[in-house]
Amino acid sequence: MSRAGSRQAKSRKQPTVISWRFAFVVLSVSAIFCTLIARAAYLQVVDPDKLVAEGDNRTLRVKSDDALRGMITDRNGEELAVSVPVESIYADSKVIMENNVVQDQRRWHALADMLQVSPEDLKKKIATDKKKRYVYLERQASPAKVDYIRKLKIPGIYFKQEAKRYYPSGEVTAHILGFTDLDDHGVEGVERQFDKVLKGSAGRKVVRKDAKGREIEVLEETGSTPARNLTLSIDQRIQAVAYRELKKAVMTFGATSGSLVLVDVNTGEVLAMVNSPSYNPNNRNGVAVHRFRNRAITDTFEPGSTVKPLPVMTALENGTADLKTVIATGNGVMMVGGRRVRDTHAYGDQDLAGIIRKSSNIGVTKLALNMPHEDLLKMYYGMGLGDETGLGIVGESPGMLRERARWSDHERATLSFGYGLSVTAVQLARMYAAIGNGGVVRPLTLIKQDKAPEGIRIVSEQTADSMVEMLESVTLKGGTATKAVVPGYRVGGKTGTAKKAIAGGYGDDYVGSFAGIGPISSPRLACVVIINEPTGDYYYGGEVAAPVFSSVMGAAMRLLNIPPDGNDSRITKVAGGPDAG
């Protein structure tokens, strides 16, 4: 065969098997394809949760519908606490570092100056770690600061809408209202007690968005619970007068502190509650923590002579004495259980009204010793001493009234004139409110009431009315509180001057107090004034606390349009009487 024929024969030959190269490619592609199918099946059928989560991270968004915190007003609609919209400033470190913002020194230094930090500290905080995607620079910043920083147009600096609590009355109502923290949660006072009511609950909506950020599906939606406004029993007009007069007395007598509580005797509504010193809840920077406490409900003291109406009423109720009973108080000194009980003066023979008017320790001691001690304790407990008042504010103290099986004569004696127990200003106010309303003890409240709550009758109306008349005599000529007189109105009350207990006995500091009722013809208000540790020569309750009562009670009765039941000529007759506690 020729060479040409041989070539033609070879060209006509066809391969009988697949070449190994083609087989390798086919097998490789098949293996890859099978692997992909297996992987897809595993991810989508066997273990789809991870992919679902990744997809949700890219497409699901949760929207919240935050509501402003409810407003707090006084009984007349005067705003006491409101929420105002503000903005907070925050940074995204990743964006800041990617845009190399720190190198723009002019804007970086301007930002640091507005935030009152050094550029170096600001860099350490937000420009050293890309993982910090949300760093607060300032919460609830002032509008001027936000506007300035916004104009800097710094990449990675953002603003978030928030709400800030504002208290128009400042330090006047600070201890009642309390305040909220940066996250709008109540921390003290009414803000804490009614936090859930004032805050409500935010709405929530879960939506799915596409790659362009458009909302394509609503997956879940929960409606918001709107915040509710709160109307307090406080009368801001009276509150302002009370704070002014109390603060003036604390400063005048160099006292450590003071408290005042004014209560509607028929409803138990607190119309005013103030403490001095106070603080500004709108700016608490540098304020000592102890200034935040509401002394009227937290601080206890031995009430002294302000509880003397209780043994007198107990004697009237159990029949061991009547209005005509005369008690021999002698020369002002009496031995009880081997110890002396003293009066400030020798008062001789006194009826029950005289014992209250002169504030005789010996008089109430003899009444207490002439009755079963269980009766006296029942009266103390019934009037709410040793128990909370119903206000419900966190931190309220129940005071102290000791339970014991046996009482010595001296312990019974000291209990009758206000030693050996401790009370708060609000407890004393509730006690005098019960005397003023005819003998019914009601819980106190800081919320405006449409009707009087149910109470518990502790003494008969006749006994309570008799005590009201006796209390008026304290403010008349010869009583211990002529400085408590209110021009045009009949008022009554009881002074208290108690030494403060120290380790091992009693020190040289006093608590001067006055608790009273007005107007006498138809009691409407009960007021308690506490002046803690007055310095100087004046420390008797009739000197330091009674004048505050006069000013506040007079203003309150006029503001509430209570008709006068006295006359000014009566004031002239009683002025100048002795003022002892």
Active site residues: 305
SS in 3 state form for 145-196?
HHHHHHHHCCCCEEEEEEEEEECCCHHHCHHHHCCECCCCCECCHHHHHCHH
Of 327, 554, 514, 331, the residue nearest 432 (C-alpha) = 514
> How many Å apart are CA 166 and CA 243, to the nearest integer?
19
The answer to whether the CB of 133 falls within 8 A of the CB of 112 is no
> How many Å apart are CA 498 and CA 233, to the nearest integer?
31
CA angle 554/557/560 to nearest 5° reads: 145
Q: What is the DSSP letter of 291?
A: G
> How many Å apart are CA 259 and CA 250, to the nearest integer?
9
If DSSP codes are grouped into helix, strand and coil, which group holds residue 116? coil
> How many Å apart are CA 196 and CA 186, to the nearest integer?
9
Do β-strands 203-209 and 215-222 pair in parallel, antiparallel, or remain unpaired? Answer: antiparallel
Task: Report the half-sphere exposure of 151 (CA within 13 A, side-chain side).
Answer: 7
Of 154, 152, 122, the residue nearest 138 (C-alpha) = 122
Of 446, 457, 483, 481, the residue nearest 581 (C-alpha) = 481
Place of tokens 């603060």: 247
